[in-house]
Amino acid sequence: MNPHSLVRICHAKGLILLITLLITVVSGCSPEQVQPSTFAIATGGPAGLYYPYGGGMASIWSKQLPHVNAKAEVTGGSVTNVIQVARRESEIGIAMADVVTDAYLGQGKFPNKLPLKVLFTAYPNIVHILTLKDNAIERVSDIRGKRVSLGAAGSGTAVAAENVITGLGVRLDEIAPAYLSFGETTSALKDGTIDAGFVVGGLGLAAVTELAVTRELLLVDLSDEELATLNAKFPAYGGYNIPGGTYDKINHDVRALGIWSAVVVHEDMDEALAYELTCTMYRHREELLKVSKVARAMTLENIHQLKSVPLHPGTERYVANPEMPCVDPG
């Protein structure tokens, strides 16, 4: 080979190597080495519905969006979740509508407004007021002087329980409160260490189903007047029928309180990302249904259930034209 040609080849190879090194230094890594962003989804305890629901969402997003690596995390529940999202400790959280509303407006347990937006609504939670037939509790007013589990501390269940009790004229100092998880609540009812307990979630909760099989379970009914009183004080609350036969040996319909759950994000989440997350979840809802049957309520018709808290602009863009591709249309 001509020596001059050899020199030119060496110079060319050296130049290519230099450019490659510069690209590596500037970018920090090659495109193949770029890792997807890790998304923490704040859910709830493992015995409730939020954790599997969040796990289903994490699986779908991680599978369908190469730049997202989502993971469901066990938390204390709704109150904890909205705080973590506001502090950017979690990218996404699931929470009950009353908690989201209070957090957004800066009321109730939240002295300051939290920077939240709704990504989409999830499903209606039903407030189960549990007792046993021998405990002489038929109405909410009957819990005066009784030992009552209000749900885990920091959970949406605890917020709802306190609102129901005080909203219907019973002071918290008139009961002996305990702050127990779902499983702890049903165990305490079996053991006789509490007289009643609040459990909030979708129909057919495992903890309630198991209790109904092993004990003479009674679900406390709410009258139309009581539901109207609660709705006037807490607009996020509405009536919901627990159909007879949902739980063993309870063959009549029970009138209960219904509270929607929502998936929330920080108000500053990138609009394109919020669009992709929302679009992807609605396009793959059937996959979520395999994990959690309550996902059947996640429809565009239900997306505006939280009237007091606005949707994220990325979600609004999807709602305006749901037939567009899930990749950000720009």
pLDDT in tens, 308-330: 999 999 999 999 999 999 985 45
Query: Is 75:44 a contact under the CB 8 Å cutoff?
Result: yes
Q: CA triplet 232, 301, 74: central angle to 5 degrees? A: 75
Would you list the DSSP string of 272-283?
Answer: HHHHHHHHHHHH
**pLDDT over threshold 60, residue 2:** no
Please state, in angstroms and rounded to a whole number, the distance separating the CA atoms of residues 97 and 263: 10
**Which CATH architecture fits 34-123+262-320?**
3-Layer(aba) Sandwich (3.40)
Q: What residue type is 86 in one-letter code?
A: A
pLDDT tens for each residue of 254-309: 999 999 999 999 999 999 999 999 999 999 999 999 998 889 999 999 999 888 99
Q: How far is CA 151 from the centre of its chain?
A: 16
The pLDDT of residue 13: 44
CATH code reported for the domain at 125-260: 3.40.190.10
pTM, two decimals, is 0.78
Query: What is the pLDDT, as a whole number, of residue 327?
Result: 80
Residues of the chain with CATH 3.40.190.10: 34-123+262-320, 125-260
Q: What mean pLDDT is predicted for residues 32-52?
A: 80
24, pLDDT greater than 60: no
**Given this model, what pLDDT does residue 252 score?**
95
**DSSP output for 3-30:** HHHHHHHHHHHHHHHHHHHHHHHHHSS-
What is the rounded CA–CA span in Å between residue 317 and residue 309?
A: 16
Q: Which two tokens stand for residue 89?
A: 């400790």
Strands (E) in 194-235, as ranges, are 196-201, 217-219
| CB 211 within 8 Å of CB 248 | no
The strand pairing partners of 39, in sequence order, are 70
Read out DSSP for 300-329?
GGGTT--TTSPBPHHHHHHHH-TTS-SS--
The Cα–Cα gap between 72 and 266 comes to: 17
Question: Could you give the CA distance from residue 142 to residue 302 in angstroms, rounded to a whole number?
Answer: 35
- Written as six digits, the tokens of 116 are 């939240």
d(CA 200, CA 221): 15
Q: Which phi and psi angles does 255 have, rounded to 5°?
A: -85, 120
